[in-house]
């Protein structure tokens, strides 16, 4: 079944039309209106109409949408920090312009669903899709399907507090997080977290890309930073393993593009596992940028079937 997916981000709204084997046929990005709710809904409607016309299926084309944030399962309202529609039922507002209601999901959940179905987690029973980019979040699938989430949230592992045994021996501060708490993993293992770690250690502003590039060229202090980042990120993998025990963790987001990121994480992760625990597969995502839209499209087709 051909289908469409719309990945809604803070800077762009990306629509993709997928073939019946879930390959991208065509993609179109437009800028996300940042200040006006009605402009934002109009932009979404424009992407929906583009998909409907392109497919030739009009309103019978299954289309799903993914956003970074929480969707309240009881009220349908979405809560997200970067969109003018936060606090609103996006599907309901959009339905006024397109005469139907489209399903909406969290983008980390969409990522996990996409990678568990024809992606890097294909063939594994329990797959965690972990995004490490600007933020850190994850989704969980069992047998290729998402699990029910009481609060409509992703696995918000980026906002789990980092354990004292990680911070104290490294003499790292407890950094505040955008969520209002302090010491969240996201502040240490996201792209910004890697940059903060670098700035803290070397005493000057650094960007994550710069640290990775310098480490790859053999600069010793940056190699040490990347190694420290990997050890802290492995502590997050351990928490995921202890909580969910997946047989596969698929990495996505900008930091999953670090060369040799899998062995870099596997080594400290292996040393942290308890007793006879076996290591799950750690893999990088296959579908990359298309995962949000692809996962949302999978959800939309399943709602029809
Ligand atoms: Zn937080």
Domain that holds residue 225: 123-285
> ipTM higher than 0.90?
yes
Going from the Cα of 156 to the center of ligand 1, the distance in angstroms, rounded, reads: 9
Residue 151 has a pLDDT of 81
Q: Residue 213 falls within a domain, yes or no?
A: yes
Residues 97, 175, single domain; the answer is: no
In the reported structure, the alpha carbon of residue 176 is separated from the centroid of ligand 1 by a whole-number distance in angstroms of 8
Q: Output the domain CATH number for residue 222.
A: 3.30.420.40
Q: Tell whether 133 is covered by a domain.
A: yes
Same domain, 197 and 65: no
- Mean pLDDT over 251-259 rounds to 95
Over range 23-33, report the average pLDDT.
Answer: 96
Q: Evaluate whether residue 115 is within a structural domain.
A: no
Q: How far apart are CA 305 and CA 303, in angstroms?
A: 6
Question: Of residues 140 and 148, which shows the higher confidence score?
Answer: 140
Confidence of residue 120 (pLDDT cuts 50, 70, 90): very high
Residue 114 located in a structural domain: no
- Compute, in angstroms, the gap from residue 240 CA to the centroid of ligand 1: 16
Q: Please indicate, yes or no, whether residues 158 and 254 belong to a single structural domain of this protein.
A: yes
- What pLDDT score does 69 carry? 86
Averaged pLDDT, 83-107 = 93
Q: Please, which residues bridge with residue 140 across strands?
A: 128
In angstroms, what is the span from residue 149 Cα to ligand 1's centroid? 19
Which range among 82-91, 170-179, 220-229, 253-262 shows the weakest confidence by mean pLDDT?
82-91
Q: What is the pLDDT of residue 292?
A: 93
Average pLDDT along the chain: 95
Domain assignment of residue 139, yes or no: yes
For residue 156, name the pLDDT band (cuts at 50, 70, 90).
very high
Would you say residue 176 has pLDDT above 90? yes
Please compute the mean of the pLDDT values over residues 52-65 and round it to a whole number: 97
| CB atoms inside a 10 Å sphere around CB 184 | 25
Q: Which residue has the higher pLDDT, 304 or 26?
A: 26
Question: How far away, in angstroms, is 27 Cα from ligand 1 center?
Answer: 33
Are residues 64 and 177 both part of a single domain?
no
Please tell me the distance from the alpha carbon of residue 148 to that of residue 269, in angstroms, as a whole number: 28
d(CA 186, CA 236): 10
Q: How far is the CA of 94 from the centre of ligand 1 (A)?
A: 30
Per the structure, the count of domains in the chain is: 2
Question: How many angstroms is it from 236 CA to the middle of ligand 1?
Answer: 14
Tell whether 71 and 84 lie within a shared domain.
Answer: yes
Sheet of strand 248-252, all strands in order from the earlier edge strand to the far edge:
145-146, 136-142, 126-132, 248-252, 281-284
Write down the pLDDT at residue 257: 95
Q: Are residues 112 and 127 in contact, defined by beta-carbon separation less than 8 angstroms?
A: yes
pLDDT > 80? residue 171? yes
- As a whole number of angstroms, the distance between CA 296 and CA 150 comes to 19
Taking residues 214-225, report their average pLDDT.
97
Domain membership flag for residue 118: no
From the CA of 5, how far away is ligand 1's center (Å)? 28
Same domain, yes or no: 176 and 53: no
Q: Which percentage of the chain shows pLDDT scores above 70?
A: 100
Residues 136 and 255 in one domain: yes
Whether 116 is in a domain gets the answer no
CA of 242 to the centre of ligand 1 (A): 20
Q: DSSP state, 70?
A: E
Q: How far is the CA of 247 from the centre of ligand 1 (A)?
A: 26
Which DSSP symbol is given to 213?
Answer: H
Report whether pLDDT(10) > 90.
no
Instruction: Say if residue 280 is in the same domain as residue 192.
Output: yes
Query: 133 and 278 share a domain?
Result: yes
Question: What is the band of 13 on the pLDDT scale with cuts at 50, 70, 90?
Answer: very high
Q: Is the pLDDT of residue 152 over 90?
A: no
* Residue partners of 161: CB distance under 8 A and separation at least 6: 181, 182, 183, 184, 185
Instruction: Show Cβ contacts of residue 117 under 8 Å, excluding neighbours closer than 6 positions.
Output: 22, 144, 298
The answer to whether residue 289 scores a pLDDT higher than 90 is no
Instruction: Say yes or no to pLDDT of 185 above 80.
Output: yes
Range with the lowest mean pLDDT among 74-78, 165-169, 173-177, 244-248?
74-78
> Cα(133) to centroid of ligand 1, in Å?
14
What is the Å distance from ligand 1's center to 137 Cα? 11
Confidence at residue 275, expressed as pLDDT on a 0 to 100 scale: 92
Q: Is 223 helix (H, G, I), strand (E, B) or coil?
A: helix
Residue whose entry in the numeric block shows the structure tokens 């354990």 = 163
Report how far ligand 1's centroid is from the alpha carbon of 181 (Å): 5
- Residue 122 pLDDT exceeds 90: yes
Ligand 1 centroid, distance to 118 Cα (angstroms): 32
The reply to whether 214 and 88 lie within a common domain is no
270 and 142 in a common domain: yes
| 265 confidence band (pLDDT: 50, 70, 90) | very high
- Between the CA of 158 and the centroid of ligand 1 the distance, in Å, is 6
* 49 part of a folded domain: yes
Same domain, 211 and 64: no
Q: What is the pLDDT of residue 50?
A: 98
Range of weakest confidence among 87-91, 152-156, 204-208, 279-283: 152-156
Q: How many CA atoms lie within 13 Å of 24's alpha carbon, on the beta-carbon side? A: 18
Percent of the chain with pLDDT over 90: 87
In contact, 5 and 287? CB cutoff 8 Å: no
- Ligand 1 midpoint to CA 46 (Å): 34
Mean pLDDT score, 8-30 = 95
- Confidence (pLDDT) at 149: 83
């Amino acid at each position: 079944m051909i289908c469409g997916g719309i990945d809604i981000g803070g800077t762009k709204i990306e629509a993709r039309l997928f073939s019946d084997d879930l390959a991208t046929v065509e993609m179109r990005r437009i800028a996300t209106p940042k200040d006006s709710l009605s402009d934002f809904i109009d932009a979404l409607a424009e992407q929906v109409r583009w998909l409907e016309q392109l497919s030739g299926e009009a309103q019978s084309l299954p289309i799903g949408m993914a956003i970074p944030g929480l969707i309240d399962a009881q009220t349908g309202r979405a809560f997200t920090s970067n969109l003018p529609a936060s606090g609103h039922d996006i599907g309901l507002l959009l339905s006024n312009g397109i005469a139907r209601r489209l399903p909406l999901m969290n983008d980390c959940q969409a990522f996990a669903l996409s990678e568990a179905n024809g992606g890097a987690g294909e063939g594994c029973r329990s797959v965690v899709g972990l995004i490490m980019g600007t933020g850190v979040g994850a989704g969980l699938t069992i047998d290729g399907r998402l699990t029910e989430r009481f609060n409509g949230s992703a696995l918000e592992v980026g906002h789990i507090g980092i354990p004292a045994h990680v911070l104290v021996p490294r003499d790292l501060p407890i950094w505040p997080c955008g969520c209002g708490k302090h010491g969240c993993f996201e502040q240490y293992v996201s792209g910004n977290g890697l940059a903060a770690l670098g700035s803290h250690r070397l005493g000057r502003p650094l960007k994550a890309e710069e640290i990775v590039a310098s480490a790859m060229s053999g600069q010793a202090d940056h190699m040490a930073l990347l190694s420290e980042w990997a050890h802290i990120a492995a502590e997050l993998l351990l928490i995921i393993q202890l909580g969910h025990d997946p047989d596969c963790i698929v990495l996505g987001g900008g930091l999953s593009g670090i060369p040799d990121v899998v062995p870099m994480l596997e080594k400290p992760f292996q040393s942290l596992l308890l007793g006879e625990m076996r290591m799950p597969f750690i893999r990088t995502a296959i579908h990359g940028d298309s995962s949000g839209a692809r996962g949302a499209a999978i959800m939309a087709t399943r709602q029809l079937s």
